[in-house]
Structure 1
Amino acid sequence: MTTTADAGIATPSTPSTPSRPGETNQHYDLDPRIFGLFLDPLRKYSSGMYRTPGITLAEAQEAKLHWVAERLGLTPGGGQRLLDAGCGWGSLILFMAREYQTAVTGISPAGRQHEYIASRAAELGVTDRVTTAVGRFEDLDLPARSFDAVTMLGSIVHMPDVDVAVRRARAMLRRGGRYYVSETCFRNAAARDEFDKRTGTEFVRNSIFGWGDMRPLSELVRAVEDAGFSVDDVEDLTEDYRLTIDDWLVNVSAAADAIDALRPGMAAQLTRYLEVANAGWGFTTKHYALICRNAR
């Protein structure tokens, strides 16, 4: 696995400050073992894809990653390069490196995630195709026009200036490259105005994530169009995410004692967070994936 220096990717000149809007937050810097107790084996912390009856959480997450690869036009052995802004525990980049032989770069401000990804890349034998960089996507010195695909699965919510983030994504792409962004959105502007400061929303934003800003889908579409992208498709993943969180809740309940042994009270906090998230689907929130193309 190459380091940021080996890859020619510079970290920000100013150290990360967790209280800064849009930085990573306390949630992703928790003990990695906590996430291993309720996520799937890939530790994918975003929506799966439940299009087959009776599918398990692990199967739904692999189905989702294959679907993302298809939407991005990745092919096994195709020699593509992918940049994942907000790479989490590396589920997407490690999967694409292993299954599609894609050269991948993952970005996250959470140091613990990079340590985990490095160890998993070594176990999977894909260190030669995996690079990670510690920092904020908006701040890092990245090679322009050098990627075939850019992904943001549930990470743009932590980026305070959506326009800057999307323009940066386009600047990373070669002509014809594809951009995939998926995010939980308020159902419309009126729902955002009504529910943005409600108790449940504030609990998730401040007690779990430290900072985050859900936007209506219309704001994301405007941002990608203003950045110069062509929108190829919009997929509604709301029901898929509801089923994903249902499975996470089952796992949290089953592993509550083990989770609390690592961090007392964490099982109850996770349960409240996930229940708040699932309570809003269709009423206050939706979950969408946008597939865009850098046509120029």
Structure 2
Amino acid sequence: MAEAAGRLTKLAEEVLGVPLPVRIRAWDRSESGPPGAPTLVIRNRRALRRLLFKPGELGLARAWVAGDVDIEGDLYTALDLLAELIWERGTAAPEPRRAAALRTLARPEVRAAGRELLSLVGLPIPPAPPAEEARNRRGPLHTLLRDKEAISHHYDVGNDFYALVLGPSMVYSCAYWPAADAGATLEEAQRDKLDLVCRKLGLKEGQRLLDVGCGWGSMVLHAAREYGVRAVGITLSEEQAVFARKRIAEAGLADRIEIRVQDYREIHDEPFDAISSIGMAEHVGRTLYAEYARALYALLKPGGRLLNHQIARRPITDEEAYHVDEFIDRYVFPDGELAPVGRTAGALEDAGFEVRDVEVLREHYALTLRSWVANLEEHWAEAVTLTTPGRARVWRLYMAASALSFERNRIGVNQVLAVRTPESGASGVPLRARAWEG
């Protein structure tokens, strides 16, 4: 199939209605597109079949995970250029999107492009999705079983793999950087984030801390070692729990820290003096968020504090227009949902909390994600052997694309400090609310 790249470029531009901002190299080694731009490498015609049967983001995601397509050149630049054509075109409500798609398909040049695509595809057989895709999810959203399966899909992919990506801190949420050019290491910035959480919670020796979604145990370890608390960490990931317990035993803190494989809805040994929830609430789901807020409120003593660290969608859009990103839902965080920070704060207030402070850390997460991508790329060969080539490709794409989303203000992340203020009204929060900044 001579000059496949030129034909593909022409086809894409007819469908999109704008010049293609990246080069294309096809399986026949032909190339087309702007010189010096990042190159989208289409390794085989199976990639086109994926796009034919699942047009748009999901087809592209499957082709990327399977290795049918790749990018040569700077990944961030390529994603930035492609975002305006693929992802950011999909921010409208579902009905307008469908109407726009139908109008596009009705154009004569697009019908001709469809015939051209069929001639390039070869045998029109739908390829099976990559094995890394989450499929056949059981039961209604956010049951105990389905949530456990969703968490396992994301987190039970190998502790050694995560260690390569996250570094020694084993913290899987945004770090707290002093400045973009201050020369801080990822490990230092993660330590500063954990300490910031502890200070906001006002932790003191002998207090009891619950860490919801404790991951590999970094928060409970820091709080017990530096602040002398007794801590319970809960996770739905068996692999995380094994890793966390080993770290705790090696640190000599097994008498002060307990790690459980448990859902927040199954805790009945309250009260706690403080609760941290760092990067967990994104998994709760919109329909259960009120229940989540009420459950954490009930677990706290009067005067107890909650630090809720959560990714938020931005800008605020109409609820009916919100749709879950297909790539993220199928390959990264099954059943995960994002809410605007105002809705999160409102749900906490409705549950009885007094919201005392909100801190925006959007730019911090972009820096963190770029550090994780750099770790993954530096250790790529080892990462592939520790998991699968497809899984490593998933993580590289989602972390790089997420970094750009934080930088472009498409998503945010916030720390919300809330208090179960007692009837006396004495919240215990410093009069100068940011006193914890030192």
The alignment yields a C-alpha RMSD, in angstroms, of 1.8
Report the Cα offset of residue 193 of structure 1.
5.6
Deviations 1:208-265 (A, max 9, x none): 1222011111110111100111111000000111111110010010011111011121
Matched-pair contact (CA < 8 Å) for 2:148–2:236: no
Matched-pair contact (CA < 8 Å) for 1:195–1:284: no
Question: Residue in 2 aligned with 1:237?
Answer: 361
Report the CA distance shift for 1:71/1:231 in structure 2 as closer, same or farther (over 3 A): same
Q: How does 1:110-259 map to 2 (within 5 A)?
A: 110-138=237-265, 140-144=266-270, 146-160=271-285, 161-190=288-317, 196-197=323-324, 201-259=325-383
Could you tell me how far apart the structure 2 residues matched to 1:179 and 1:95 are?
A: 17
Query: Where does the alignment leave 5 or more consecutive residues of structure 1 unmatched?
Result: 1-14
Matched-pair contact (CA < 8 Å) for 1:50–1:60: yes
Larger radius of gyration: 2
Report the Cα offset of residue 142 of structure 1.
2.0
**Residue 107 (1) aligns with residue 234 (2):** yes
Question: Residue in 1 aligned with 2:419?
Answer: 293
Could you tell me how far apart the structure 2 residues matched to 1:80 and 1:168 are?
A: 20
Among 156, 173, 195, the alignment partner of 1:66 is: 195
With normalisation by structure 2, the TM-score equals 0.60
Higher relative contact order (CA 8 A, sep 6+): 1
Identity score, percent? 31
Deviations 1:164-207 (A, max 9, x none): 1111111111111000001111114317765634xxx2211221
Question: Residue in 2 aligned with 1:27?
Answer: 154
**Residue 57 (1) aligns with residue 183 (2):** no
Matched-pair contact (CA < 8 Å) for 1:231–1:291: yes
Could you tell me how far apart the structure 2 residues matched to 1:254 and 1:30 are?
A: 19
Question: Residue in 2 aligned with 1:267?
Answer: 392
Could you tell me how far apart the structure 2 residues matched to 1:128 and 1:71 are?
A: 25
Report the Cα offset of residue 275 of structure 1.
1.5
Could you tell me how far apart the structure 2 residues matched to 1:92 and 1:40 are?
A: 15
Could you tell me how far apart the structure 2 residues matched to 1:290 and 1:271 are?
A: 29
Report the Cα offset of residue 135 of structure 1.
2.2
With normalisation by structure 1, the TM-score equals 0.88
Provide the secondary structure at the position in 1 that maps to 2:392.
helix
Runs of 4+ in 1 over 3 A off after TM superposition: 19-23, 191-195
Higher helix proportion: 2
Question: Residue in 1 aligned with 2:35?
Answer: none
Could you tell me how far apart the structure 2 residues matched to 1:105 and 1:262 are?
A: 30
Query: Where does the alignment leave 5 or more consecutive residues of structure 2 unmatched?
Result: 1-142, 423-438
Matched-pair contact (CA < 8 Å) for 2:232–2:258: yes
Matched-pair contact (CA < 8 Å) for 2:215–2:235: yes
